[in-house]
C-alpha cells in the first residue's frame, strides 16, 4: 500500500479564545489606533511592547507593521543610509535584502555553511566591507553566536538580528535577538505568533530605541510608550528623525498578547514534531540531516535536509513524487524564484557576485513547514513518505 498524507502545510492553529475575546473588546470600544486611549487607559500595543521586552529581557521594544519593517527601522535607527553596504546572509528570505534595499543601501551577501547558518569564515573575510551585519537566523538555524560576536566585535561590526524564525529560541541560554544591538521579530501567520502581519523590535540602546519609535510613526506621543527610554532621549532626536509610518494597532497587539503568554508551551510542541521528523529521516542514504548543536535552543517550526551534490533533475523528481503523496517540500536550488522561496542570485538589484560554495549548499536545501496542526503520527507518516521517495530516486542513480 502506498501511503499518502492529506493534511495542510499552510494551516495554522486557530487564534486562542482568549485572544479572540481581547480582539472583540478592542473592536467594541473602537480605539484601534495605538495612541487613541481613554483617560487612564494603557493601550494594547504599549502593553504588548512591555511584555515582549520582559520576555526576552530587553530594555526597550517597539511594535510595528511587519518583520521587514522592523529590520528596515533598526537599520535606519543604527544610521544606515543610501549607498552604505550592509552584510547579510546569502541564504535568507527576500524581505531581508529588501529591508536593506528600502534604505537605498546595498546588501553584500555572506555565504551559507553546511549546517545552514552563516559561513563564519566568509563573514570574517568580509567583515571590513560594512559597518552593520543584518544577521538572519534563517529557518531558525542559529550559528555559533559566541564566535560570530567575537568576529563582529573585533571588526567593529554592529549586529542586527532577524529573528523571524527564532522567537522563543536561544543560544547558550541567551534569547535569540539579544546578542546584537537590536533584534527583529515577525508576527506574520507562518511565524511563532500570529496576527496576520506584525513585527517587534527590541534593543537596550536608548538612542536607537528612541529613533525606532519616532521612525515607526509616534508623532510627539512617544510618552505613551512604556518600553521606551526617558523623554530626554527623544529631545535629542525628535527634530531629525522622520516619521515613516509603520505602527502596530491595538487590534493586532490584543491578538498577540495571549499568544506570547503561551509561547513557552508552544515551543516544545514544535520540537516534538521536529524530532519525530528528524528521527524518521536520519540514516537515509543520500539525505543529510542538519545536526543541531547543543547550545542552540531552537524552535522546530520548519525542517530542512540536504540532498547534497544531487543532480537538479533528481531533486525535482523527489519533490514531485513527495507532492504526489501530499507532502509539500520547497527547494532552495531552483534557478527561478517560486512562491516564498528565492535565492541570492534572484535579487538582481543587489548585483551579487556568484558564490560557488554557497551555490552547492543551496542546490541541495529542501525545506518543509511544520505547522502545529500536524500530529506526531502525521510527522512520522511524512518522514516515511520522504524517506521512501528519496530512497527510490537515490537508488535510481543520483
Ligand atoms: C518572514 C520573514 C521575514 C519578514 O517578516 P514579515 O513580517 O513577513 O515582513 C524576515 N526574515 C525571515 C527569515 C522570514 O522568514
pLDDT given for residue 335 in this prediction: 87
Is the pLDDT at 206 greater than 60? The verdict is yes
Give me the mean pLDDT over the 150-170 stretch.
98
pLDDT tens track for 31-73: 999 999 999 999 999 999 999 999 999 999 999 999 999 999 9
Closest ligand 1 atom, residue 197 Cα: 7
Q: Which three cell numbers stand for residue 113?
A: 555553511
Give me the mean pLDDT over the 204-226 stretch.
97
pLDDT given for residue 171 in this prediction: 98
The position carrying cell 531552483 is 334
Dist CA 159 CA 136 (whole Å): 10
Q: What are the catalytic residues?
A: 191
pLDDT given for residue 397 in this prediction: 63
Is the pLDDT at 131 greater than 70? The verdict is yes
Cα torsion 183, 186, 187, 192 to 10°: value is -80
The strands making up 170-171's β-sheet, listed across from edge to edge, are 174-175, 170-171, 296-297
Going by alpha carbons, the residue nearest to atom 7 of ligand 1 is 67
For CA atoms 344, 345, 350, 351, the dihedral sign is: positive
Q: For the beta carbon of residue 392, count every other beta carbon within 10 angstroms.
A: 12
Give me the mean pLDDT over the 177-199 stretch.
98
Domains and CATH numbers, the chain: 17-261 (3.40.640.10), 263-397 (3.90.1150.10)
- Residue 324 host element (H or E): helix 312-324
The position carrying cell 538555524 is 141
pLDDT tens track for 328-365: 999 999 989 999 899 999 999 999 999 999 999 999 99
Distance 64 CA to ligand 1 centre (A): 13
Q: Which residues contact 136 (CB under 8 A, 6 or more apart)?
A: 88, 89, 91, 92, 93, 96, 118, 162, 164
Closest CA to 191 of 160, 159, 168, 216: 168
138 Cβ inside 6 Å of ligand 1:
yes
Going by alpha carbons, the residue nearest to atom 5 of ligand 1 is 67
195 Cβ inside 6 Å of ligand 1:
no
Give this prediction's pTM. 0.97
Mean pLDDT of the chain: 97
DSSP 57: T
Is the pLDDT at 103 greater than 80? The verdict is yes
Q: Which three cell numbers stand for residue 116?
A: 545552514
Give me the mean pLDDT over the 148-177 stretch.
98
pLDDT given for residue 395 in this prediction: 80
Q: Which residues contact 55 (CB under 8 A, 6 or more apart)?
A: 175, 260, 263
For CA atoms 358, 362, 368, 371, the dihedral sign is: positive
- What are the φ/ψ torsions at residue 144 (nearest 5 degrees)? -65, 95
Distance 160 CA to ligand 1 centre (A): 14
Q: Which three cell numbers stand for residue 167?
A: 522567537
CA 116 from chain centre, in angstroms, equals 14
pLDDT given for residue 248 in this prediction: 98
Q: Are strands 174-175 and 182-186 parallel, antiparallel or unpaired?
A: unpaired
95 Cβ inside 6 Å of ligand 1:
yes
Dist CA 29 CA 42 (whole Å): 13
105 Cβ inside 6 Å of ligand 1:
no
Q: Which three cell numbers stand for residue 238?
A: 525628535
Give me the mean pLDDT over the 79-85 stretch.
98
Q: Which residues contact 241 (CB under 8 A, 6 or more apart)?
A: 210, 211, 214, 215
**SS3 for 62?**
strand
- Residue 69's Cβ-side half-sphere holds a number of Cα atoms within 13 Å equal to 22
pLDDT given for residue 396 in this prediction: 75
pLDDT given for residue 208 in this prediction: 98
Q: Are strands 158-162 and 132-136 parallel, antiparallel or unpaired?
A: parallel
93 Cβ inside 6 Å of ligand 1:
yes
Dist CA 340 CA 48 (whole Å): 28
Q: For the beta carbon of residue 247, count every other beta carbon within 10 angstroms.
A: 21
Amino acid at each position: 500500500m502506498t501511503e499518502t498524507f492529506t493534511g495542510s502545510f499552510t494551516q495554522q492553529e486557530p487564534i486562542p479564545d482568549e485572544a479572540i475575546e481581547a480582539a472583540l473588546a478592542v473592536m467594541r470600544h473602537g480605539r484601534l489606533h495605538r495612541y487613541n486611549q481613554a483617560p487612564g487607559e494603557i493601550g494594547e500595543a504599549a502593553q504588548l511592547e512591555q511584555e515582549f521586552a520582559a520576555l526576552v529581557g530587553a530594555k526597550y521594544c517597539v511594535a510595528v507593521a511587519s518583520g521587514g519593517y522592523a529590520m528596515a527601522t533598526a537599520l535606519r535607527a543604527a544610521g544606515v543610509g543610501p549607498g552604505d553596504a550592509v552584510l547579510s546572509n546569502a541564504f535568507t528570505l527576500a524581505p531581508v535584502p529588501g529591508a536593506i534595499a528600502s534604505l537605498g543601501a546595498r546588501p553584500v551577501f555572506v555565504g551559507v555553511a553546511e549546517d545552514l547558518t552563516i559561513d563564519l569564515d566568509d563573514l570574517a573575510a568580509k567583515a571590513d566591507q560594512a559597518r552593520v551585519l543584518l544577521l538572519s537566523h534563517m529557518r531558525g538555524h542559529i550559528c555559533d553566536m559566541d564566535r560570530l560576536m567575537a568576529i563582529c566585535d573585533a571588526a567593529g561590526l554592529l549586529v542586527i538580528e532577524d529573528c523571524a524564525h527564532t522567537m522563543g529560541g536561544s543560544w547558550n541560554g541567551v534569547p535569540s535577538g539579544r546578542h546584537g544591538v537590536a533584534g527583529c521579530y515577525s508576527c506574520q501567520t507562518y511565524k511563532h505568533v500570529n496576527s496576520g502581519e506584525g513585527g517587534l523590535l527590541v534593543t537596550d540602546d536608548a538612542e536607537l530605541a528612541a529613533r525606532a519609535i519616532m521612525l515607526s510613526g509616534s508623532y510627539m506621543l512617544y510618552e505613551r510608550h512604556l518600553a521606551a527610554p526617558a523623554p530626554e532621549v527623544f529631545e535629542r532626536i525628535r527634530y531629525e528623525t522622520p516619521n515613516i509610518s509603520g505602527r502596530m494597532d491595538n487590534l493586532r497587539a490584543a491578538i498577540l498578547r495571549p499568544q506570547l503568554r503561551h509561547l513557552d508551551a508552544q515551543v516544545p510542541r514544535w520540537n516534538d514534531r521536529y524530532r519525530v521528523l528528524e528521527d524518521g529521516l536520519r540514516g537515509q542514504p543520500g539525505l543529510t540531516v542538519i545536526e543541531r548543536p547543543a547550545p542552540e535552543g531552537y524552535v522546530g517550526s520548519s525542517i530542512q535536509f540536504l540532498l547534497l551534490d544531487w543532480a537538479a533533475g533528481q531533486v525535482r523528481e523527489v519533490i514531485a513524487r513527495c507532492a504526489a503523496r501530499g507532502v509539500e517540500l520547497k527547494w532552495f536550488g531552483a534557478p527561478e524564484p517560486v512562491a516564498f522561496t528565492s535565492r541570492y542570485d534572484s535579487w538582481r538589484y543587489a548585483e551579487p557576485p556568484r558564490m560557488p560554495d554557497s551555490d552547492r549548499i543551496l542546490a541541495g536545501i529542501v525545506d518543509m513547514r511544520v505547522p502545529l496542526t500536524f500530529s506526531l503520527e502525521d510527522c512520522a507518516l511524512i518522514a516515511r513518505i520522504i524517506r521512501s521517495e528519496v530512497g527510490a530516486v537515490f537508488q535510481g542513480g543520483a
